[in-house]
Structure 1
């Protein structure tokens, strides 16, 4: 029985939600420590803390407001746990080339190759720039689509857009991307 290695397609961690949650919790912790230190030094609670503590003292455990707050905190915590546990979207595409180098009979370990979205964009831009009449190229690569925008001094933008689409499609197919993303090309005329 052969065991397949985990895929090379990396999924980014969710650093933005984690950073926001860490920042909010850090600010809340610092405020609580400052209020506690104030209480230890002065012997009384600061005025803003007295207002909040007075309001909280009036609320009973079974009140509707307290239950809504607890349910909201539980839902927010669950969302944070799910966001932290599930990885982000794939940020690389698999290239169809595989090399088997089995050292023992009956096993064929495979080597996978991937290319990042940034690499796909650079590859597409390089091949779009080779088309006659193209003056400037901007490329954005997504999971399923590559958007190419070319500037030209020619008035025949439709023909140039078609030629760029063919060139980029051929480059991505030759690179062995699996599946090949859809190419959307727009051409605009640059004034001389």
Structure 2
């Protein structure tokens, strides 16, 4: 009878463990499937967005002529893309048109904000006190030396991670158009895009000045 009870309990344990393992494997498989499906959905979304953007570029060229330069502040985002139409001598950005003749100045500005670093307190034994305790214990024995050296001492050190600076660049374009004297192109943290757009605008200004001479 005792043998039967032990056998029954063992069988129940084995079945329970098996169910837990199968449940864990099933959960892991479902998680993997969800991750794959999410990755596929993101890829499809990006592809459709890219196709829509390409269609928009073709439409702009068909309507306004050849585009000389395209600068995407945000990939495949029509409202965050600068288009330079050489033949029309106009710039298009965020539904705004700028004539080359109206552009007077261009500069980069930055409005950064800082995320303070975190401070961590680390408490550890005082090294010099430990050296003194060890010396006393060697000289007078562990018990007497420990008593003479006094209690253990601890020191607390504070470690701070560096502050993080988040840049927020913009290109400010001054114009001779009274109704729209200042155009701000918001870039974000990408300094290279800000520098490229600013350089393009300054080249346009230089070329316009040469033509006027």
TM > 0.5 fold call: no
As a proportion of its length, which structure holds more helix?
2
Of the two, which has the highest radius of gyration? 2
Bin of the TM-score, shorter chain as denominator length: under 0.3
Higher relative contact order (CA 8 A, sep 6+): 1
As a proportion of its length, which structure holds more strand?
2
